[in-house]
Structure 1
Amino acid sequence: MLGRGVDQILPHPGDPALREPYIRDARDYVELAEAANGPIPRPVDFEWPWGDALRVLDEAAPDARILNLETGVTRHGCFAPGKGVHYRMAPANLPALSAARPDVCVLANNHVMDFGRRGLDETLGALAAAGLRTAGAGRDIDTARLPAAVPLPGGHRVLVFALGMLSSGIPFGWAAAGDLGGVDFVPEPSLSAAAELVARVRQWKRPGDLAVVSLHWGSNWGHEIDRDTVGYARALIDGGVDLVYGHSSHHPRALEVHRGKLILYGCGDLIDDYEGITGYERYRDDLRPLYLATVRADSGRLEGLRIAVLRAERMRLRYAGDRDRAWLGTTLDRVSRPFGTRVEVAPDGALAVRTV
């Protein structure tokens, strides 16, 4: 979420005007962060928000870096009606996104169209001009449904399909349809909807490809996962999807390894401007997990999952301390145990996942 307050500390801040009930200037979020953890230099360099996450990524050297970009990239000033919160970052600040060298930016979420279809169109153009692949939104239904393809050694690919659900706050009117631009939208996690998506995955997937489904779903807070959501995710795995990448909650939710394949029900936030906002401290949303999954190319089975634990401080990601890592490990272990998954702190300080 590189928009709003984060955008204001970068070299080319956009219009800070907001239409939220209590905050009308995005710079107020910077002040909240400063009140919590100290002054933030302005402007910061483009790598600042990522902080220690860049070192984690460089050391892991993943074949594919996939993130959910939950903001418009636009200077368009027409606020989408009926929404209490609007996110945008200035296109000139896109180097702050490129700094992490993402292979796919998922756009099927409840903020990509905060400035309407004109804002979405500018977002798509800016990301394309920066050479960044996208999935989950487009200028018509066909492009919104196209998977992003990341080449792998041996001619194989990681295929990323991205969809957003009503439960995450995406309005019905944002759905792409015919020649109308928007997001790849599914109203609810039904088994019939899973079957439709599985059919699309099978049309694209070749032997040796890995299929990732990114889902923006569920509420912002809480560890509860309803039966329909679990059934939908498992149906995708049963149908040939290799990894389910869920997000929307501002803190991480349970993990599951179903038939040897990974389901992330909620990854939590990585970068945002929530630092200093009170009311949900019990969820420790200041702790920011970065997921490093090792998957077999021939079968899609999970070989290992390491979770690097970072902490937001002065709108920058820093390595979390021992007590913070232990707290998050204990919490994820507790909420994942009903799914047959255990989480523990590894000797190197990362969280490690094992099945029972």
Structure 2
Amino acid sequence: MTPTRRAVLAASVGGVAGLAVLGGTVRRRTRRAVPPTVPGDGDTRIGFVGDVMLGRNVNDRWSGTGSSESQAGGDSASGADPAGVWGSTLPSLRALDGLFLNLECCLSTRGERRPNRTYYFRADPEWAVPALDTAGTAYASLANNHLLDYGPTALLDTVDHLSEADIANAGAGADRAAATEPTVATVGDLDIGVVAFTDQSRSYGAGTDAPGTAWTSLDSRDPETRAVVGDALRQVRERDPDLVVASLHWGPNWEVRPSGTQRRFARWLIDAGVDVVHGHSAHVIQGIEVYRGRPIVYDIGDYVDDYVIKPDLHNDRSVRVELAIEDGRLERLCVAPVEIVDERVDRATGDAAAWVRDRVRTLSEEFGTTVERDGRGLSIPLAAD
């Protein structure tokens, strides 16, 4: 008899609890199906992008509050244009069954700046929530180092605005329990469980009775991390999802390769029942690894922002990764190059697209990942023939 997904996840997370007393060293692994499958035989396409920062100049331009000069190039200066932030990628976003992203700002017009910070990111929910909805956002990760920029009021406003718009979210909340609680996003006919954590800005971490983010070290050798993340995975198991995603805001900025700690933790997650590792934070593309038939996207770069461009790193260039589920099987990742131009995201073409393809291929092949050309983008097979 084929085991149910609930039984497989239960065994996986139970294995995590047992491994904790062994210092996190994996001495046995729960058998998991390769290639991974979901119930039914349908086709689904799920998009993953990195940091979406809708504050500062992005907010001024697309909320309609900026100057006519900042809205030049055919955009109306008289009112908000929420869809404009997605530029020429909007048709591709709308073709997805759902989009997963990291929301690198709070959504609020309230709150006070937290002292001693260099950057503060906040967007007006009046345009930002419709923008997220227009793109088909199914899930927004809040476990990052900017959700508390304007204090607990703005953080809680963000959770409320997303929830009211039926956009699943995780990674921040009114206290530690709420911040680490997983969520379930509905994408087509699938229920996708999501856990979200960050190792950035420890001072932003939620307390027993204080709002904040789901901060932890993200090191599989750390007993506290294993306990906190293991508990979140047990909560996901209880909801019986069709897939499990771990959304992680982790690691230092501007690093093009993940650390050994990140690689160990990502594999530990998959051994524990996670199907997709969705990494972000570095502001640059890192490689993609396929482990036990499941993708580890170590860092997907920034999808839209107003950040200063580092010419040697091209942090204005990144990707949208689309998980293609065909006949109920996790078949492949489709990697679409994109480019940030004037506070919007556009499809990358020409030299920019070639640079992105080369960067993804070079960094991913270091993990032994098979990378194939697919039109302007790339394809990474997950299922062996």
Distance 1:323 1:195 in 2: 46
- 1:76 Cα offset (Å): 2.3
Question: Unaligned regions of 5+ residues in structure 1, if any?
Answer: 17-26
Equivalent residues in 2 for 1:242-253 (5 A)? Answer: 242-253=275-286
Q: Secondary structure at the match of 2:365?
A: helix
2:71 is aligned with 1:5: no
- What are structure 2's unaligned runs of at least 5 residues? 1-52
Superposed CA RMSD: 2.6
Residue aligning to 2:254: 221
Cα distance in 2 for residues equivalent to 1:127 and 1:11: 17
Q: Structure 1 pair 215/296, CA: closer, same or farther in 2 (3 Å)?
A: farther
The letter of the residue matching 1:131 is: D
The equivalent position to 2:219 in structure 1, one of 183, 189, 213, is 189
Counterpart of 2:82 in 1: which secondary structure? coil
Partner of 1:81 in structure 2? Answer: 115
Residues 153/328 of structure 1: CA separation in 2 closer, same or farther (3 Å cut): closer
Closer/same/farther in 2, CA of residues 208 and 81 from structure 1, 3 Å limit: closer
Mapped to 1, the partners of 2:140 and 2:240 lie a distance apart of: 24
Q: Could you list the per-position Cα deviations for residues 69-92 of structure 1 after superposition, in whole angstroms to 9, with x for gaps in the alignment?
A: 110111225111121000001122
1:41 is displaced (CA, Å) by: 5.1
Q: Any residues of structure 2 matched to 1:33-182 within 5 Å, and which?
A: 42=77, 43=79, 45-59=81-95, 61-62=96-97, 64-93=98-127, 94-151=129-186, 157-166=191-200, 170=201, 172-182=202-212
Three-state SS of the structure 1 residue aligned to 2:274 is coil
Distance 2:164 2:187 in 1: 23
Alignment deviations for residues 49-80 of structure 1 (CA, whole Å, 9 cap, x no partner): 10122211233x32x32111110111225111
For 1:296 and 1:175, how far apart are their aligned partners in 2? 39
Task: Quickly say closer, same or farther: Cα 1:41–1:283, change in 2 above 3 A.
Answer: farther
Tell me the distance in 1 between the aligned counterparts of 2:288 and 2:263: 11
SS across alignment from 2:342: coil
SS at 2:304 equivalent: coil
Letter in 2 for 1:10: W
Give the whole-Å Cα distance in 1 for the aligned partners of 2:355 and 2:82: 31
1:333 aligns with 2:365: no
Shift of 1:127: 2.1
- Give the length in aligned residue pairs: 325
Q: Secondary structure at the match of 1:245?
A: strand
Tell whether the 8 Å contact from 1:47 to 1:99 is kept in structure 2 after alignment.
Answer: yes
Query: Aligned pair 1:200/2:232, yes or no?
Result: yes
Shift in Å at residue 131 of structure 1?
2.8
Distance 1:7 1:207, change over 3 A: closer
Which of 306, 316, 319 aligns to 2:347? It is 319
Which amino acid counterpart does residue 346 of structure 2 have in structure 1?
R
Q: Runs in 1 of length 4+ with deviation above 6 angstroms? A: none
Residue 306 of structure 2 corresponds to residue 284 of structure 1: no
The offset of 1:302, in angstroms, is 3.9
Q: CA deviation at 1:295?
A: 4.5
CA distance in 1, matches of 2:169, 2:59: 20
Cα displacement string for residues 198-251 of structure 1 (whole angstroms, at most 9, x for unaligned residues)? 343134226662110000001221213211111011100111111110000212
Specify the alignment match of 1:308 in structure 2. Answer: 336
For residues 111-135 of structure 1, give each alpha carbon's deviation from its aligned partner in whole angstroms, at most 9, with x where no partner exists. Answer: 1110011221222222223332211
Q: Who is 2:16 aligned against? A: none
Question: Which residue identity lines up with residue 230 of structure 1 in the other structure?
Answer: R
Corresponding residue for residue 305 of structure 2: 272
> TM-score, normalising length from structure 1?
0.83
State the alpha-carbon separation in 1 of the partners of residues 289 and 58 from structure 2.
32
What is the deviation of 1:316? 2.2
Indicate how the Cα distance of structure 1 residues 222 and 88 shifts in structure 2: closer, same or farther if over 3 A, else same: same
Cα 1:259–1:144 change in 2 (3 A) is same
Deviation at 1:287, TM superposition (A): 1.7
Q: Distance in 1 between matches of 2:253 and 2:366?
A: 21
Q: In 1, are the aligned partners of 2:246 and 2:274 still within 8 Å (CA)?
A: yes
- The CA deviation string for residues 24-67 of structure 1, in whole angstroms up to 9 with x for no partner, is xxx8xx86x98xxx7865355110010122211233x32x3211
* Kept after mapping to 1: 8 A contact 2:318/2:356: no
Tell me, yes or no, if the aligned pair for 2:110 and 2:154 is still in contact at 8 Å.
Answer: yes
SS at match of 1:6: helix
1:194–1:232 CA contact under 8 A, matched in 2 = no
Higher RCO structure, 1 or 2 (CA under 8 Å, sep 6+) = 2
User: 8 Å contact 1:40–1:314 — kept in the other structure?
Assistant: no
Residue in 1 that maps onto 2:12:
none
| Aligned-pair CA distance for 1:153 | 6.3
